[in-house]
Structure 1
Amino acid sequence: MEQNETPEERAFRAEVRDWLETNLSGEFAHARGLGGPGREHEAHEERLAWERHMAASGWTCIGWPEEYGGRGASVEQQVIFNEEYALADAPARVGHIGENLLGPTIIAFGTEEQKQRFLPPIVAVEELWCQGYSEPDAGSDLANVQTRAQQDERGWSVTGQKVWTSLALEADWCFVVCRTEPGSKRHAGLSYLLVPMRQDGVEIRPIVQLTGTSEFNEVFFDGARTDAGHLVGAPGEGWKIAMATLGFERGVATLGQQVGFRRELQGVLELARRTGAIDDPLLRDRLTRSWMGLEIMRLNATRTMAGVAAGAPGPESSISKLVWGTWHRELGELAMDVLGAAGLVAEGEPYDLDDWQRLFLFSRSDTIYAGSNEIQRNIIAERVLGLPREPRGNE
């Protein structure tokens, strides 16, 4: 990547690299490598302090327009920042849902009052967000949302259940897709509400994952309140806005994610050399294919950045989600095969996992969350390739 950069981009990369090297020392030296998949709750307060330190130096929300607290960084600069952040083994971000999902959505669809109210606390990492999409009967079939909201003279009252809500325990706010038109079905009648989490009408129940941690949760809304001005867009536009949020989720941060993938693959290669598994021709072939897949993934992600530069990414972003989710799940399986029988034994009591076991278990979810592989294939077929819509229900 660096060899194709402009002088300005190389200078920006050097600035980012120098700042991370200087600041991931002293007080924050121990923060390197903290958090991440399967270790979501690790050192939350330390990671929060680090991210607020980043904010004080102007390194949060760098792709946002300057008038909203960002740097107005180009797509190329955002890619560089995410790559350098991953290469520095900096701690997993705590404010990424607000920065990468809700913030760009507010900038694109929010009122000026909403921008002034909600964007500054995201930049400063003073308010954390979670995503209220999935429900027990509306996971991959998100259009089946049943959580409802009613408007009265005091604002909105929200009642219903959300599930698989990542980082809900730490969140101050949730952007909730809910049904605001009684009797409506499917995509019609949905709205996009911003709901405070720390109130009596909200109950959060952690869900224990295969890794033993609880990144995601059940959330119950029982007459939870939010102001009338906390509706993004018009009533009934929730589906359009929710899909735009998903597009932002698959933006430039995925290239930084791939630096982490590369580090994991390198670790599996070193493990194969150490255990002798690399001498097995079948495993060696799979390791080679994994390396090839990562290179293809990067080229595809770079190509789709044009959609990010033009605004909210289009349905083509589903290709990226399908590719990286499948690749990462297969890497976890490959790591277990390289370990052999040793991969079946926990590190200690009661359930102490090593990095490869955690990778294997967590990556099982990569082809499910943020849109399952099956849903991504349908989106690509119908909205990118223009193929006939898959029959649904009684069709």
Structure 2
Amino acid sequence: MKRVVIIGGGYAGIYALGELVRNKNIKITLIDKHTYHNLQPEVYDLIANNSTFADVTIDLTTLCKGFDHDHLDFKNLKVRKIDQQAKKIYTEEQEIVEFDYLILAAGTRTFFPSSIPGLNNADDIKKLHRAITFKQSFETQLFEKVRDEVKQCADTHIVVVGAGLSGVEIAAEMAYYSNKFFKRGNFSCDNLKISLISSSSSILPGLKQDLINISQKRLKDLGINVITGIKLQEVGEGYCKFSNGTRIQHSFVIFTGGIEASTVSSELDVARNGRGQIVVNEFMQTDKYENIFAVGDIAEIKNSAGEIMPPNVTIARISGANAGINVLRLMDGRPLIKCNPKLDGILIALGGKFAAGDIYGLLTVKGRLAYEIKKYVFSSYRRPLLKLIKKGYAKLKRL
């Protein structure tokens, strides 16, 4: 029986799994160091108290049980080494997993440049446990402001460094949440400030100008101080120092200024780019091993025009499904299918029930309409997964 291993239970890994389970005569193992699939785009709702932990995670154990496949296992392990010659995966838990075909879908992590002193003290909300810790710290500070407002009204200043999608969305959600909090309670100590820092000349570099304009106006309406064209140089105790010589006092620093591939990518002797992403061909295969595929954020994926695609959910979905299909075709000796990923649009959460979006490059939407489209897209992805985990949960309870 052929053995297929997927490392990473994120969007790309799950879409690959969805294709692989069509073959009932293979052994499939999903490995992840976490027990859950983190619905990353919705973590900002968690921080803003619009959702709970259960809303932004999918349990991988029950998900795997929900698939009708007798030879599918989930292993909660941390990969330490991959021996591509021996086709073995070594883990921190001393368990060895063997494979005939391997799909790497371990994603990326926030890149913290070592050249910036003190940056390791910044919050990384891409990691769910760090996002929850930040949420708790932020709410504690809000409570202390209310508790002490008669005696003192100390400034609370959140500095978000990085004005790409992640930075803009978290700044907007935090501002909307805090504004609603102080207005609802009519608290006098409502001096929370949020600054969004971009090293580029604008926010959301690379996106269409109308999306930038909509987002810029929304951030201004939310009271966010947007500063462009400066770079973070140092994070000190209670202050940030920037390239133009300014120092900004802070209560929290959130860093969203770039990504790098998961360390799993370095375990393979294959071509990688400067961010550590694995360079793949049009079939999602690595350059040296036809039986090893890389998908989602951990891979450098190009479209048919040779353009590098951005790491996002759409590309993860397309590349993951393509790799799953091609593993099955490779087993059967059939021609592989080229992956030609296309972005079907972009949607930006901008606080509360307000969003901005570009639909297929043809239509720009904003406000409540864009928000409802974004929620629909998310629910369309989450709904079938919820059916699977409910089915898996019922199976586990019968054991």
Q: Which has the higher contact order (CA 8 A, sep 6+)?
A: 2
TM-score bin (small chain): under 0.3
Structure holding more helix per residue: 1
Structure holding more strand per residue: 2
